[in-house]
Structure 1
Amino acid sequence: MTLKLYGMALSTNTQRVTVVCHEKNIPFELVKVDLFANEHKSAGFLEKQPFGQVPYIDDDGFVLYESRPIAAYIARKYAAQGTPGLVPSDPQDHALYEQAVATEMSHFDPSASGLSFEMIAKKIFFKTDPDEARVAQLLSTLNAKLDVYEEILGKQKYLAGDEITLADLFHLPAGTRLVKIGLDVIEKRPNVSRWWKDISSRPSWVAVTSSA
């Protein structure tokens, strides 16, 4: 049975899963959930995802929600195919991987996604202008965090070491929004820029963005 991914192609959380499906060469069916029509708040959807957010998967009856655990599940289930090592098995390597995932969740995504909401989503969904004070605050926080990224990536190729992991791929959806907004937070840092060009040019991400 083909894995079914319930989400929306433009959703950053959905994209966090689809890029991993492409990395692991897994056929999947994207079942569109119309966020504009509030389908994610319907009774049928809430039976599968009680928080009313996208995405969730149905893998032959196994239902799982939250994009990062879904991605890890896919990477581990299909460990023998596609890109190897996205979730390291060695205890120390795995700990460094978990550290990098926590870094993305705590130190990158809140500011990057916040800026995307203020500068893109507000205009599209709510027809309102961004809160400039909030934008300034988020940008200041993100710059401080990326200064630390610059140090880390000056010592190793990827966030968890010298091999790519899910932690790197998890940055792609929100990071791409930053580039589209026109913020130079990535380009002005040589090590971050080198890392970003590496991960954002992967065929898996090109496939995701070309179909969104």
Structure 2
Amino acid sequence: MSTTTIKVHGMALATCTARVLLCLSEKGLDYELVPVDVAAGAHKQQPYLSLNPFGQIPAFEDGDIKLFESRAISKYLAVKHKDTGTDLLRSGCLKESAIVETWMEVEAHQFNAPMRTLIHQLILGPLRGSVPDEKIVETEVDKLGKVLDVYEQRLSQTKYLAGDFYSMADLYHIPSLFYIMKTPKASVVTGRPCIHAWWNDISSRPATIEVSQGMALDKFLSQKK
């Protein structure tokens, strides 16, 4: 019987689950990934709803601590294990930690919405048999491009979003960028040299390589069978 206290309920190929797994990997922590059969609607039924009442993945357990929302879970892990593995929140320096928090907020409130829509249009929809709505795609690419123009300027001045150090601000972006780079709209990254260099850096980290092995696109299809 496993003695691992950390359990992540979700799917490795889902961006929000992957965000938590990236944090765990950067921290070098042992965990158990508990598969949730989303295709069968297990996330909308008990007992899963006792872990996440909104019926979304992932959910998280660490002993008697039960959490949901991937960003909150990741922050919890980074604070609890601040002296282990990568220092993701820069908690020892108020200035640095404030900048990290700022770019974490940017990801959640500026970057995430257009990226989420593009992933649904360009990846999830086609894998389920639908055709992308080109009008929606172009609208969201334009929105994302305006956000990434700000990133390009920022990354022309610093190696990573919060400074010359890798942090949670960078990590939060990895799952959705991983998927968009598999689409024809990868040019939103490759066409911006500073962002492209940043992506090449963060995507080559051992934690990213490890977690991305569970994010193969054909796994979406296998979930449907």
Structure 1-normalised TM-score? 0.96
Q: Please say if 1:117 is aligned against 2:120.
A: yes
- 1:171 and 1:119 map into 2 onto residues whose CA distance is 18
3-state SS of paired residue (2:60): strand
Measure how far apart 1:187 and its partner are.
Answer: 0.9
1:64 corresponds to which residue? 67
**2:83 equivalent among 65, 74, 80:** 80
Measure how far apart 1:129 and its partner are.
Answer: 1.1
**1:106 equivalent among 92, 109, 132:** 109
Conserved? CA contact 2:13–2:214, under 8 Å:
no
Deviation readout 1:172-195 (Å, 9 max, x if unpaired):
110011101132111111111111
Letter of the aligned partner of 1:86 in structure 2? Answer: L
1:203 corresponds to which residue? 206
1:13 corresponds to which residue? 16
> Percent sequence identity over matched residues?
38
**1:40 equivalent among 26, 33, 43:** 43
- 2:59 and 2:182 map into 1 onto residues whose CA distance is 26
1:152 corresponds to which residue? 154
Deviation readout 1:136-173 (Å, 9 max, x if unpaired):
10001111111111000011111111111111011111
- 1:30 and 1:47 map into 2 onto residues whose CA distance is 17
- 1:182 and 1:200 map into 2 onto residues whose CA distance is 18
Letter of the aligned partner of 1:178 in structure 2? Answer: I
3-state SS of paired residue (1:30): strand
Q: How many residues are paired up?
A: 210
1:143 corresponds to which residue? 145
2:98 corresponds to which residue? 95
Which ranges in structure 1 are unaligned for 5 or more consecutive residues?
none
Which ranges in structure 2 are unaligned for 5 or more consecutive residues?
216-225
**2:197 equivalent among 194, 197, 202:** 194
**2:183 equivalent among 164, 181, 189:** 181
Letter of the aligned partner of 2:213 in structure 1? Answer: S
- 1:60 and 1:123 map into 2 onto residues whose CA distance is 39
How large is the RMSD of aligned CA atoms in angstroms?
A: 1.1
- 1:94 and 1:80 map into 2 onto residues whose CA distance is 15
Letter of the aligned partner of 1:28 in structure 2? Answer: Y
Measure how far apart 1:11 and its partner are.
Answer: 0.5
- 1:12 and 1:162 map into 2 onto residues whose CA distance is 25
